[in-house]
Amino acid sequence: MGNSALDLNPPNATFHLSTHGSDWLWAAFSVFGVSLLTVVAWTFTRPRGARLFHQIAIVVLTTGSLAYFSMASDLGATPVPVEFRGEGTRQIWFVRYIQWFITFPLLLLELLLATGLSLSDIFTTLFMSIVLVITGLVAALVPSTYKWGYYTFGVSALFYIWYVPYVLLWHGPHTTFAAGGVLRRGYLLAAGYLSFLLLLYPIAWACAEGGNVISVTSEMIWYGILDIFAGPIFLFFFLWELRGVDYATFGLHSGKYTDKSAYAPNTTQAAGTIPATTSTGAAGNV
């Protein structure tokens, strides 16, 4: 049985997704889905208190799977009049921006939690990633030339992340790494890799939603390749680099004991007193 997604969910714009584009999106969905199941299984091999980075990856991959299922089904798009190269409307995939709104900050958080950056630097960087996504969505929905004003704001936010404060390329690598030299090497490779990929997204936007230079199917192929490299491939590489790192060195403590924790409090402790943490970390580690 062939792909009948476009028959069941007819395109709603002049420039729209083709059946071949939908086939590619189903393939991308499969990559995200298999990657999600793999990371879930991998997570259960980790002790409690050492699953934070794997659980962030689960959220990213779950969100990506849902987004690609929607786009492959030709759902989650709205028609917007084009500015260049013909007349009519083009499908703008708001479901993709919902995906990025969740995944871009989490990918950066995954990376920056491994550094000695202050919480204020991490918070500002995550905020700028949200600005990047929201301005991209607003720009895509604006039919007039004013879209390029929002595009400029988004690119400025990207350069804040990428270069201006050196968060990814300078500040992050030169902070004190809690987990030592192994993770530092992994961070340098991962930061350079992710920074390069982030730079390609605005180029794709300018050719697709912005300038209407490439078809919707070509847009899907371009963004799909970027999302796979920035999602499953990046996450597998980063988690692999973390495999030998002692999570206690990160200091990621909740400070609360639970009855399911890997670190149980002293059962002889008097009621009403605050349990003391040990060198192995608090039982409520995230």
* 275 inside domain: no
pLDDT tens digits in sequence order for the chain, 286 residues long: 678 888 899 998 999 999 999 999 999 999 999 999 999 999 998 888 778 899 999 999 999 999 999 999 999 999 999 988 878 999 999 999 999 999 999 999 988 887 767 788 889 989 999 999 999 999 999 999 999 999 999 999 998 887 643 555 555 555 545 555 555 666 777 888 888 899 999 999 999 999 999 999 999 999 999 999 999 999 998 888 877 776 666 666 544 544 454 444 454 444 444 344 433 333 333 4
Give exposure, 238-274, as e/b (b: 16+ Cβ within 10 Å).
bbebbeebebbebebeeeeeeeebebebeeeeeeeee
Taking a C-beta distance cutoff of 8 angstroms, is the pair 109, 122 a contact? yes
Question: Residue 253: what pLDDT?
Answer: 56
Q: Is 84 exposed, middle or buried (0-12, 13-18, 19+ CB in 10 A)?
A: exposed
- Residue 90 falls inside a structural domain: yes
Cβ-count burial 167-194 (b if 16+ within 10 Å, e if not): bbbebbbebebbbeeebbebbeebbebb
Q: How far apart are CA 191 and CA 183, in angstroms?
A: 12
Vertex 268: Cα angle to 262 and 273 (nearest 5): 90
Rounded to an integer, what distance in angstroms lies between the CA atom of residue 25 and that of residue 15? Answer: 17
Domain CATH code at residue 81: 1.20.1070.10
Is residue 279 one of the residues assigned to a domain? no
The pLDDT, as a whole number, for residue 115 is: 74
d(C-alpha 197, C-alpha 267), whole Å: 50
| The pLDDT value given to residue 243 | 76
The answer to whether residue 278 is domain-embedded is: no
Asked if residue 266 is part of any domain, the answer here is no
Q: What is the C-alpha separation between 68 and 99, in angstroms, rounded? A: 9
Q: What is the pLDDT of residue 163?
A: 63
Domain of 55 in residue numbering reads as: 13-252
Report which secondary-structure segment, H or E, holds 91.
Answer: strand 89-92
Number of compact structural domains in the chain: 1
Domain annotation covers residue 268: no
Residue 62 structure tokens: 């779950």
> Tell me, what's the pLDDT at 246?
67
CB atoms within 10 A of CB 44: 8
**Per-residue pLDDT at 46:** 85
Query: Would you tell me how many other CB atoms lie within 10 Å of the CB of residue 154?
Result: 23
Cβ partners under 8 Å of residue 218, min gap 6? 208
Q: List CB contacts of 232: < 8 A, sequence separation 6 or more.
A: 31, 32, 35, 61, 64
| 204 vs 149: CA distance, rounded Å | 17
- 276 within a domain of the structure (yes/no): no
Assigned domain for 226 exists: yes
Q: List the one residue out of 160, 161, 189, 159 whose CA is nearest residue 173.
A: 189
